[in-house]
Copies of this chain bind each other. A is one copy, B any other.
Amino acid sequence: MKFWSNITKTLTPYVPGEQLNESGIIKLNTNENPFPPSPKVIEGIKKCLGPSLKKYPDPQSSELRNNIADFYDIEKKNIFIGNGSDEVLAHIFMAFFKDKKLYFPNITYSFYPVYCGLYEITSKVIPLNEKFEIEKKQYLDLDGNIIFPNPNAPTGIGLELEVIEEILISNPDNLVVVDEAYIDFGGRTAVELIGKYKNLLIVQTFSKSRSLAGMRIGFAIGDTELIEGLIRVKDSFNSYPLDRLAQAAGKAGIEDKNYFDYTRKEIIKNREWLVSQLKIRGIEALPSMANFIFVKLDNAENTYKELKSRKILVRYFKNPLIDNYLRISIGTMKEMEILIKNIDEIMEV
Chain A residues within 8 Å of B, Cβ to Cβ: 1-8, 11-16, 19, 21, 27, 30, 32-37, 41-42, 45-46, 49-59, 83-84, 86-87, 90, 94-99, 114-115, 117-118, 145, 173, 175, 198-199, 207, 211-216, 225-226, 229, 231-246, 249
Chain B residue nearest to A98 (CB atoms) is B5
- Distance in angstroms between the alpha carbons of A211 and B53 in the assembled complex: 7
**Set B6, B83, B96, B232: member contacting A11, Cβ < 8 A:** B232
Given contacts A225-B2, A238-B86, contact A56 B244 (CB under 8 A): no
- Asked if A13 and B244 sit within 8 Å, CB to CB, the answer is no
Contact residue among B36, B90, B95, B237 (Cβ-Cβ distance under 8 Å from A53): B36
Q: Is B236's CB under 8 angstroms from A16's CB?
A: no
Interface pairs (23), CB distance under 8 Å? A2-B173, A2-B198, A3-B199, A4-B95, A4-B229, A5-B95, A5-B96, A7-B94, A7-B98, A19-B58, A32-B56, A36-B53, A46-B49, A55-B213, A57-B214, A83-B83, A84-B240, A87-B237, A214-B244, A215-B243, A216-B241, A245-B246, A246-B246
**Smallest CB–CB gap between A203 and chain B, Å?**
13
Kindly state the separation between the CA atoms of A232 and B242 in the bound complex, as whole angstroms: 22
Report whether A3 and B96 are in contact in the complex, using a CB–CB cutoff of 8 Å.
yes
- Expressed in whole angstroms, the minimum distance between the Cβ of A153 and any Cβ of chain B is 15
Residues of chain B within 8 A of A199, CB atoms compared: 3
Copies in the complex: 2
- Find out whether the CB atom of B54 lies under 8 angstroms from the CB atom of A213: yes
List the B residue with the shortest CB-CB distance to A145: B3
Q: Which B residue sits closest to A114, measured CB to CB? A: B236
Q: How far is the CA of A173 from the CA of B83 in the complex (A)?
A: 35
Please name the 10 residue pairs, one residue from A and one from B, whose CB atoms are nearest each other, closest first. Answer: A13-B235, A36-B51, A5-B98, A214-B244, A53-B214, A54-B211, A118-B236, A216-B243, A86-B238, A3-B175
- Contact check, B55 vs A214: say whether CB atoms are below 8 A apart: yes
A32: shortest Cβ distance to chain B, in Å? 5
Q: Are the CB atoms of A32 and B55 closer together than 8 Å? A: yes
Question: In the bound complex, do residue B90 and residue A237 qualify as a contact, i.e. CB atoms below 8 Å apart?
Answer: yes
Chain B residue with minimal CB distance to A37? B53
| CB closest residue in chain B, given A247 | B214
Q: A42-B49, A53-B215, A245-B246 are in contact. List 17 more A-B contacts (CB 8 A).
A: A2-B173, A3-B175, A3-B198, A8-B95, A8-B232, A12-B236, A13-B234, A15-B235, A19-B56, A35-B54, A36-B53, A45-B49, A53-B212, A55-B214, A118-B233, A118-B236, A246-B246
Complex Cα distance, B213 from A242, in Å, reads: 11
Question: Given A41-B53, A56-B19, A118-B233, A86–B240 Cβ distance below 8 Å?
Answer: yes
Residue of B nearest to A218 (CB): B238
CB distance from A177 to the nearest CB of B (A): 10
Q: Given that A5-B97, A83-B238, A238-B86 are known contacts, is A56 also in contact with B11, CB under 8 Å in the complex?
A: no
Question: A207–B56 contact, CB under 8 A?
Answer: yes
Contacting residue for A214 out of B83, B236, B243, CB 8 A: B243
Rounded to whole Å, the gap between the CB of A3 and the closest CB of chain B is 5
